[in-house]
Structure 1
């Protein structure tokens, strides 16, 4: 079981790292047999196809760490220790027991032994890779920019009403990166005709919170409405999704956006 895929940049590395923690789809048999029903086995909380959507990033000089293992096994964007990211609000755990609609995921919750095993085999290696990349880039450049990339279905959940924006930026209310950097990203998205909202309903998860505590890391979560790049009926079918006009057009817009953004970092 390979916990993640690390894709190194083509050519010189920019001081930019992308994390994709929720696109993994691998579920070991000992976890899959615990699922409450067949609909859970379709992994509806997955951030579908982001590895494909952002596969242009290494060609622009960006390092990418992407999870291969599903968040239904262990969530790379949650702390292994008790940590409320949204006090007083619904949020999923290191191993989620219910989905965003409050429906049970497991007929029998994984044992502590299983949770400990996948923490060591999946969560720890993923974060080790992130930290090693950040350290290497810091040694070469000083300041590093971390993008934690996500997507979410537009439908209403226990967290939010039906989504009406394209992009939701989270900087932990200005604590994981500078407000100036967040606004620069927001402006770039808006210039490329994406609608944007900041810190509502998503402020950033554990990755943004944890790595953004480093003064030399500007950590920002980018949550994308899945309507921007895919049709809901394509969930789980990469071949159909990535060949659709919606996907191709969204990817083209995103690549143009990142080209402009990364050029601004080099000047």
Structure 2
């Protein structure tokens, strides 16, 4: 079984969902604490939520493994995304709540981290790079949409309650202003959700590394507060909330597509 699934689409749009995975390799799971086995910090149901993207002709890349195995949205050298702030590492050792992921003495050392980077991190990024190259061979400009979600309250990571929609473009560096404006316009025109642009979440490694507008790749990260489509305590999908949110997400992706074509 593959480490990820990739649907190759026909439009200049790639939706990456790097924290959707929930599986744990048995040998790694055996080293986890009971709390960690819940993989609570998953970006739950992202592939389901963005299922409509296939109708737009999007390519969709979805990993199999949990971010607790390796974080696909972190730099391979472990460089911090937000220096000075608490954040998880390439191979996290604590949950968002600060609870130990590993049993005493079982946390990965630098050699294990290097092995996981090669075994689990690299294949996803090879697929991401190759799919962007395939799309760029067909289209002069491509939109990379990195989809994420998180609990609305995570005191260890940010103060108060997170806005429902958090758009990141690395402070405008990962896409052309035209693309940013198209998405901003949709967000400003809707009144159902609170939102912020380049707030607490400005875009992770994927957005910052692959977003190269000068080369035709325009990248944006959307971090959703999970209350918009699910129950944050039970992790259960909420169909009514999700359907409402999907309508807006569809409009956002359509606006982004129009801006790059």
Query: TM-score normalized by structure 1?
Result: 0.88
Distance 2:155 2:181 in 1: 27
CA deviations over 1:172-198 (Å, ceiling 9, x no partner): 112211344223212213434332201
CA deviations over 1:130-168 (Å, ceiling 9, x no partner): 111111111111111111110010013322123242111
Does the CA-based 8 Å contact 2:7-2:60 persist in structure 1? yes
Structure 1 segments of 4 or more deviating over 6 A? none
Partner of 1:19 in structure 2?
16
Match of 2:30 among 29, 33, 36: 33
Q: Would you say how many aligned residue pairs link Structure 1 and Structure 2? A: 257
Query: TM-score normalized by structure 2?
Result: 0.90
Partner of 2:227 in structure 1?
227
Distance 2:171 2:248 in 1: 27
The structural deviation recorded for 1:260 is 5.1
1:247 is aligned to 2:249: no
Does the CA-based 8 Å contact 1:18-1:62 persist in structure 2? yes
Does the CA-based 8 Å contact 2:20-2:44 persist in structure 1? yes
Where in structure 1 are there 5+ consecutive unaligned residues? none
Where in structure 2 are there 5+ consecutive unaligned residues? none
Match of 1:183 among 181, 184, 192: 181
Partner of 2:203 in structure 1?
204
1:102 is aligned to 2:98: yes
Superposition map of 1:20-169 within 5 A: 20-36=17-33, 38-107=34-103, 108-169=106-167
* Pairwise CA RMSD: 2.0
Does the CA-based 8 Å contact 2:93-2:107 persist in structure 1? yes
The structural deviation recorded for 1:20 is 0.3
Does the CA-based 8 Å contact 1:80-1:119 persist in structure 2? yes
